[in-house]
Chain A
Amino acid sequence: MMKKLIFDEPVINRKEILRYARVKDEIPDISALLNECIEEARGVLVYRVGYAVLPVQRTDNEMILDVIHTSSNTVSKAISHCDEAVIFAATIGTEYDRLILRYSRLSPSKALLLQALGAERVESLCDAFCQQMNTELRLEEKSLRTRVSPGYGDISLTMQKEIFAILDCERKLGITLNNDLMMTPTKSVTAIAGIRKN
């Protein structure tokens, strides 16, 4: 069953944002611009996650998680020795895309920093979600392993379709897939993480 969570703002990691913007050290001019971006972004950011915990079944040549049937090595490694896995989708919302779009017409420097900020925000959201899962799993003497996403390693992008079916991403989270299996809002992540018994 799919569950939905709304998070408070995860702590902002400026270093990571600057890394995405390919800035090696924070100089005052860039700092000021980044602060402006963060202030404006706060008006539109949402932190929405949908997830489902699924049993992992294995046949000779594939792993089965609900409607996902895969023989990916990347997934195999990520969920080896796991009887369960969590599938999740995280997004910071459509209005953030609109903000980037607006500044890509107006101020490419701000658009660049907003891109970087958005990338950092959605990753931090994933981290916050995994941390919370881990805290809950610890009570059952379990823990969450490193997450992997469609498009990484040998995981096909077509897995997005199955993840979307399981999590009802369009309806419950407002994330949609386009013809090329790219997600909108663009700052969205889908992932699988194995659950291991300690």
Chain B
Amino acid sequence: MDVRSFLKENIVLLDGGMGTLLQEQGLQAGERPERWNLSHPDIVAGIHQAYYDAGANIVNTNTFGANSLHFDDEELEAIIKSAIANADLARKNSTSPQDKFIALDIGPSGRLLKPMGDFDFEDAVECFAKTVRIGVKYGVDLVMIETMNDSYETKAALLAVKENCDLPVIVSNAYSENGKLMTGASPAAMVALLEGMGADAIGVNCSFGPDKLAPIVKEYLQYASVPVILKPNAGLPQSVNGKTVYNILPDEFADITSSLVKDGVRIAGGCCGTTPVYIKALKDRIGSVHPAVGSKEYTVVSSYSHAVFFSDDPVLIGERINPTGKKRLKAALKENDIGYLLNEGIRQQSAGAHILDVNVGLPEIDEPEMLEKTVCELQTVVDVPLQIDTSDPVAMERALRRYNGKALINSVNGKEESMKAIFPLMKKYGGVAVALTLDENGIPDTAEGRVEIANRIIRTAQSYGIDKKDLIYDTLAMAVSADANAAQVTLDSLDVIKNKLGVHTSLGVSNISFGLPKRDIVTASFFISALERGLSAAIMNPFSVEMMKAYHSYRVLHGLDQNCTGYITFADSIEGDDVKINSEKTSSDSNGDNLKDAIIKGLKEQSAKLTVQALSQKAPLDIVKEEIIPALDTVGVSYEQGKVYLPQLLMSAEAAKFAFEEIKKVLSYQEQNTEKKCPFVIATVKGDIHDIGKNIVKLLLENYGYDVYDLGKDVPPQVIVDKVLETRAPLVGLSALMTTTVPAMEETIRLLREQAPFAKVDVGGAVLTQEYADSIGADKYSKDAMDTVRYADEIFNSL
């Protein structure tokens, strides 16, 4: 029987533990169980057969850790080949009558992916792909990805399977005691990610016994439209007379697990500590349950941590990461100033955005490169889902590929070309697309015309295997200043599409007020009208008080805000027409009422506010020279004299950065650049992952006007040299915290001397001393960040 239909139509029994049984047969701790496929094929095949005999439909090959990180190519192929042969022999020898299949087992790589770890996403995909290709070559019926405790690695593995075969693939994750993956994903987020990418079944394994996994698996059952897997441990391990035993015995295991099958689990087996006896007991207990799997009608996107559902409760999509009409953001993109974008992301999340739109399209930048980078960086600092906003399909694919979750895609429309580009990407990477009701003939003037396009998009999507629940409709808000009828047509079509087609909707509400003064007033009213007509989501400015007032009052009036707590918290945060600035506390007598004082005291918001005030009276660069730099100097000197501590020095530096932000807003791109002193390349050297010291140096150098190129941590020597050559930087700063990485520093200096002899090298970090710095040939040893600033000024002034 075809495995895919078998999975759809039956309760499927999996096997139980392998590792624990091999240990009983003499496998030593630290020994790779996969090698036993070759050294003890009879034992491995015997265990597989016992599982088939017990009634298992699927056994997993003994290839949990069979990947290119643990074995060279030749051994890897031999191991997988024999593992499949062992399972196949067992299948032939078992006389048990059920349908029997072999799954290629894929476990985690054992390495953590970037940015938290050091394993590159594409390297992870290739690592799993190698295993998949060998498995396919020697013939398996399906693939099982299991025990993954990181969402990003799970995605890499699933992508590797999808890109290298057409076999069914079932995916199971291991959860921590807090009910999330080790790296933070909730069950709902995993359902969104994995279903979006087309996994044939999803669920949970390992972690705990079936009792403790019950709440997690129930969350899967609530959201999943594909069959749900449960493969728990036999409870917790205990040591009895020197032997490891698990605290849930076969009968109890079968009782709990089979009751979860009655609740809807479709694929069940066991993990650590379970044996063929457990599987037999489970088979007997399940008996003949008739499976029912209903497709769920959720429209959902996810981040690495949680899912966001579209429903009657409006979803706010922050629009601030989009260069259109934003001078400061344009400058940041041109300068490759990712920090500014990240800050905009974090501020929008704090202001209440549920999803962030990300658009980095500017004619003069490499959009695919920038979009991929921005998405990767943003998902390390915010945990809300992202809406990827680009008209370039190449940029869209690169961003979707690296996105850790199920993204919102902005956008697809009724043009053939658009649907042809976007739907295959959605099918491969998952996602919910915002569908615009326009086509080759433009935007129809009537509601009927827009509905007709909406219908066409749904039909085309279905032909790609994309469900209509993964489309949300944007009926296009146009400026009322240009067409008095604009709002009405948009709202009428919204109403029809929402109610007749039964889909969710989204609008870029800000467009409505284009060309009008005090736009927020009109936008907010339009937002309310649209919500009343059934709008599910809005792309909007979460910093606009008018918009947030509209949002919170709508929720209160529609019974969506229990006890009005959301509204009360919001009301508390506004003062007149402004969102209150964080009440900064200062302990000292002076409360920073001039800019210099505010910076010295490290008051960020106050510094920004005072800079804005100062700008009405003084030239921007005079403020820098007369207030900001002297303040930094004062703190710098106090720090050098031991009068203030490092955290205070940093707080002042951050306050200065807030002041600089205000200055930058009024300076043109060119003006900003002429104020830069010179390029300064900094990095933490190869092998070292400590970057706090380097980040401190970066912050201070930026404040003192240097054009800092921060290459990050664990940076190979040649990468540093290349950047120095590219920027012709006269100054390079290298940081190392551990003695083991000083040789990498020495190597970097050697290469710099060879290829970029014009650059002066400044070194620092916990293990370094003057003698050490001299011995590796550095130009300068800096004992702290201020020391580096002083040295940089010395070199710059001598240029």
| Cα of A180 to Cα of B713 in the assembled complex, Å | 13
| Cα of A179 to Cα of B110 in the assembled complex, Å | 11
Q: Decide if B536 is an interface residue (CB 8 Å cutoff).
A: no
Q: Is the CB of A105 within 8 A of B149?
A: no
Chain B nearest CB, measured from A116 CB (Å): 9
Assess A67 versus B30: contact at CB under 8 Å? Given A95-B184, A101-B380, A176-B117. yes
Q: Is the CB of A67 within 8 A of B29?
A: yes
Which of the 9-residue segments B415-423, B468-476, B526-534, B641-649 touches chain A? B641-649
| Cα of A32 to Cα of B588 in the assembled complex, Å | 13
Report chain B residues within 8 Å CB of A27. Answer: 587, 645, 648
Q: Decide if B653 is an interface residue (CB 8 Å cutoff).
A: yes
| Cα of A101 to Cα of B147 in the assembled complex, Å | 26
Report chain A residues within 8 Å CB of B29. Answer: 66-67, 165-166
Which B172-186 residues have C-beta < 8 A from chain A? Answer: 174, 176-178, 182-184
Report chain B residues within 8 Å CB of A42. Answer: none
Nearest-CB residue, chain A, relative to B19: A168
Q: Is the CB of A186 within 8 A of B689?
A: yes
Nearest-CB residue, chain B, relative to A99: B381
Report chain B residues within 8 Å CB of A6. Answer: 177
The interface size bin for chain A is: 35 or more
Chain A nearest CB, measured from B338 CB (Å): 8
| Selected contact of A23 from candidates B149, B184, B645, CB within 8 Å | B645
Q: Decide if B214 is an interface residue (CB 8 Å cutoff).
A: no
Q: Is the CB of B696 within 8 A of A67?
A: no
Chain B nearest CB, measured from A29 CB (Å): 6
Q: Is the CB of B647 within 8 A of A3?
A: no
| Cα of A97 to Cα of B184 in the assembled complex, Å | 12
Q: Is the CB of A67 within 8 A of B28?
A: yes
Q: Decide if B650 is an interface residue (CB 8 Å cutoff).
A: yes
Q: Is the CB of B381 within 8 A of A170?
A: no
Q: Is the CB of B117 within 8 A of A1?
A: no
| Selected contact of B149 from candidates A67, A98, A162, A174, CB within 8 Å | A174
Nearest-CB residue, chain A, relative to B304: A98
Nearest-CB residue, chain B, relative to A162: B30
| Cα of A170 to Cα of B346 in the assembled complex, Å | 31
Which of the 9-residue segments A76-84, A106-114, A128-136, A190-198 touches chain B? A106-114
Interface string of B693-704 (1 = CB under 8 A from A): 001100100000
Number of interface residues of B (CB under 8 A): 52
Q: Decide if B586 is an interface residue (CB 8 Å cutoff).
A: yes
Which B1-54 residues have C-beta < 8 A from chain A? Answer: 28-30
Report chain B residues within 8 Å CB of A28. Answer: 587
Q: Is the CB of B116 within 8 A of A112?
A: no
Output the residue of B112, B119, B206, B651 with the most chain A CB within 10 A. Answer: B112
Report chain A residues within 8 Å CB of B691. Answer: 104
Q: Is the CB of B692 within 8 A of A112?
A: yes
Q: Decide if B449 is an interface residue (CB 8 Å cutoff).
A: no
Report chain A residues within 8 Å CB of B651. Answer: 29, 33, 109
Q: Is the CB of B116 within 8 A of A101?
A: yes
Report chain A residues within 8 Å CB of B244. Answer: 1
Q: Decide if B661 is an interface residue (CB 8 Å cutoff).
A: no
Interface string of B208-240 (1 = CB under 8 A from A): 000000000000000000000000000001010
| Cα of A176 to Cα of B148 in the assembled complex, Å | 13
Which B445-499 residues have C-beta < 8 A from chain A? Answer: none
Output the residue of B111, B647, B653, B654 with the most chain A CB within 10 A. Answer: B647
Q: B interface vs A, CB < 8 Å? A: 28-30, 108, 110-112, 115-119, 147, 149, 174, 176-178, 182-184, 206, 237, 239, 244, 339, 342-343, 346, 380-381, 585-587, 601-602, 645-648, 650-651, 653-654, 687, 689, 691-692, 695-696, 699, 740
Q: Can you list 26 A-B pairs with a CB-CB distance of less than 8 A?
A: A1-B244, A21-B645, A23-B645, A27-B645, A28-B587, A29-B648, A32-B585, A33-B651, A46-B178, A67-B29, A98-B116, A101-B380, A105-B343, A105-B381, A107-B650, A108-B692, A109-B651, A111-B692, A112-B647, A112-B696, A157-B740, A165-B29, A165-B30, A166-B30, A171-B174, A178-B119
The 4 closest A-B pairs by CB, nearest first: A174-B182, A109-B650, A165-B30, A28-B587
